[in-house]
Structure 1
């Protein structure tokens, strides 16, 4: 999609992760300091009502942020927010999307969303960007 000709609501970027494995959760836990057993211990996650450990919400947000940082690298990110609406089990993928919400001069706002493999919304958010050129 050409960003210059995109209209509000148009899909302007997409990023598909591979399955997010346990090893990635363990590495993220060390890097972030978030060692919540929901993300690391199957027995604990099952006691909490899940079939398996779940992906850190902030890891999902980081992957959604990867879409913005790679697809809109020429822009300056001025705002990035997200709301977690569902959990993602380990070994599942995310499909991250960006739709043009608005454009004013050198600024644009994107509506962001991450879906699981079944199309269920996991994270919704937005990003505001400016073009420094």
Structure 2
């Protein structure tokens, strides 16, 4: 693992089924994520993804590359909504490695270039990683 190394996870487009399943799994049944009438009542064209769904996909990027046991810190900032049918891409870039810990800059972006989530993580790495 070296400074500048990158990783990526492409996610299928967010469907209404994805939103309904995530609502059930997470216990977050906020109707703005699953009921188009509520979303329109709030001035939106349609429902949008839970921010925590994007955070979960970003966590998958980390666990796919390092395993859960190596994650020491994980922080995000929600920057924009992910509309239904949006296709997130999760990326990570190693910004430094020091004393067995790698710092990773994280982002989730949509096909149109919108960044919906930014963050960082610290993960334990071996010298041979």
Global fold match (TM > 0.5): yes
Match of 1:30 in 2: 24
Superposition pairs of residues 97-112 of structure 1, within 5 angstroms: 97-112=91-106
RMSD across aligned positions (CA): 1.7
* Ranges in structure 2 where 5+ consecutive residues have no aligned partner: none
Give the 3 Å change call, closer, same or farther, for CA 11–86 of structure 1 in structure 2.
farther
* Ranges in structure 1 where 5+ consecutive residues have no aligned partner: none
Deviation (angstroms), 1:73: 2.6
Match of 1:73 in 2: 67
Match of 1:47 in 2: 41
Matched, 1:15 2:14: no
SS of equivalent to 2:119: strand
Partners of 1:11 and 1:80 in 2: CA distance: 18
TM-score, normalised on structure 2?
0.91
Partners of 2:54 and 2:68 in 1: CA distance: 23
SS of equivalent to 1:30: helix
TM-score, normalised on structure 1?
0.89
